Amino acid sequence: MVIKVKDLPEEEYILPGTRMCSGCGLQIAYRWALKALGPNTIVCNPASCSTVTGGVGGYTPIKVPVMYNCFETVAAHASGVSAALAAKKKDKEIVVVAWAGDGGTYDIGIQGLSGAAERRSNFIYVCYNNQAYMNTGIQRSSATPFGAKTTTTPIIGKAQVNKNMFKIMRAHGLSYIATCATGYPQDLFEKFKKAREFNGKGVRYIEILSSCPPGWGHKVNESVEVTKKAVESGYWPLMEVIEGKLVISNPSKKYIDKSKRKDVRKYLKMQSRFKHFTEDDFKVWEEYIDDLWKELGWELEKQGDL
Amino acid sequence: MTHTEEDIKFEQRVSRSILSSRQTAAIGEAGKTGTWRTMKPILHDEKCIVVKSGKPSCFLCWMFCPEISVSRTIPPVFDYDYCKGCGVCANECPTQAIEMIPEKENPSCESNEGGK
């Protein structure tokens, strides 16, 4: 049962008038994540677009405490904060969130994250994935998908397929892993509520597909629509792993059936980073999606859920 | 040059506000972001689901607004001081009740096409 829009809480933890770009997907994700977690939250933040959001000088638009740290240390930093809270016996009521971008998770922060996951440190790790280093000027990261043009892959686009962080985190045996998209705030809200309930059970990993109008090259008003298209085409399945068991979330459930999946070309043609695509490039994407769902299908079958 | 007591007090105040790690949460941290806008959203009441039914039901504009500039009231009201004019609300409205019109009052945008 999906929560209704009118039942969502009214209290805001990000105030209007922020420094983010117009139509930023991160702001939707950040807003709904904080709404789900509530006021007793401490956010740890490495270098990313969300650091810029924190503001300069004496003012900030974010109502919960945010601590800034180095790019590679966000998971180590959050481990420390949660250990300190545990020592003060406040770890039940206060939740620690590490809020990093895809560069801080896939590339630079992966050693810290892997270490914290293995140590079973108690915090929620959020990776908002906009598929490149957007804050520093759209450089390629290992989350950038095949063929995407960035400022460091300017002519033919990226030649490699992106890393599968979901699988990497699954291999750590975490208690809760989920994927979200900014096009589905209700789904995102419920997943953060659930992650909070797993308090005391190690790292909970949540990945959010977050659109970026300047980086992806779509129209500003299509910021929400583009991530919806990503889910509808099957490229970004919304799913969660609860204590090792794979569950496909409601918005993505019908796309297990291949015939229900929409053409991925619609998603790709909205964005100027894929403007140069030929028929061969589209085929790589279609194969990628087919392989992704084949693997998920096998697993669901093994669990007896299909 | 000697520092008077007032100078020292002033420096302390500045250092407290700028160098201290504590920031105050405030609306409009980046100024009035409404001045960034080239297109302005306006609501057509006769098409809006919430206004027509008079009950709190749809509110997709409120849910999707990145800038938290749409209120969850009947009818939904835009906060033009901070709305950046991205147009996500107009794009997501199921009944096309929100229309984006060129912002003429904005001095940085004099053409009728909204800054093009």
A196: domain CATH number?
Answer: 3.40.50.970
User: Nearest C-alpha of chain B: how many angstroms from A296?
Assistant: 30
Q: Which amino acid is at A237?
A: P
User: A3 — contact with chain B (CB < 8 Å)?
Assistant: no
Chain B stretch 51-70, residues whose beta carbon is closer than 8 A to a beta carbon of chain A: 56-60, 62-64, 66-69
Helix (H) or strand (E) holding B48: none
**pLDDT cut 90: percent of chain A above it:** 89
Spell out which residues of chain A touch residue B33, defining contact as CB-CB under 8 Å: 16-18
In contact, B100 and B41? CB cutoff 8 Å: yes
What pLDDT shows up at residue B18? 60
Q: Is B21 a residue whose pLDDT tops 70?
A: no
Which of the two residues, A288 and A3, has the higher pLDDT score? A288
Calpha distance A209→A188 (Å, rounded): 11
The single residue listed with the structure tokens 């749809």 is B58
Please answer yes or no on whether A15 and B26 come within 8 Å at the CB atom.
yes
CB neighbours of residue B74 within 10 Å: 15
Q: Identify the weakest region by mean pLDDT among A48-62, A162-176, A227-241.
A: A48-62
Spatial CA neighbour of A137 closest among A153, A160, A119? A153
- The answer, yes or no, to whether residue B107 has pLDDT greater than 70, is no
Residues of B in contact with A20 (CB under 8 A): 66
Q: What is the pLDDT of residues B29-59, one digit of tens each?
A: 888 898 888 899 999 999 999 999 998 888 9
Write down the pLDDT at residue B3: 75
Domain-embedded: residue A182: yes
Which of B32, B36, B86 to probe by mutation at the A interface, max A CB count within 10 Å? B86
The pLDDT, as a whole number, for residue B114 is 43
Mean of pLDDT values over A220-239: 94
Cβ-based neighbour number of residue A104 at 10 Å: 31
Out of A5, A20, A60, the one facing B60 most closely (by C-beta) is A5
Q: Could you tell me if residue A211 is inside a domain?
A: yes
User: Tokens 């892997």 correspond to what residue?
Assistant: A114
Prediction ipTM score = 0.90
Residue A16, φ and ψ in degrees, nearest 5: -65, 160
Q: Please indicate, yes or no, if residue A4 is contained in any of the structural domains.
A: no
Average pLDDT, chain B: 83
Asked whether A91 and A85 are in contact (CB, 8 A), the reply is yes
Q: Which domain holds residue A150?
A: 11-303
A37 in Cβ contact with A206 (< 8 Å) = no
Number of domain units in chain A = 1
What pLDDT digit, counting tens, does each position of A201-211 carry? 999 999 999 99
Residue A215 in domain: yes
Is position A6 within any domain?
no
A5 assigned to some structural domain: no
pLDDT band at residue A232 using 50, 70 and 90 as cut-offs: very high
**Residue B115 has what pLDDT?**
40
Alpha helices in A198-278 (DSSP H): 223-232, 250-253, 264-269
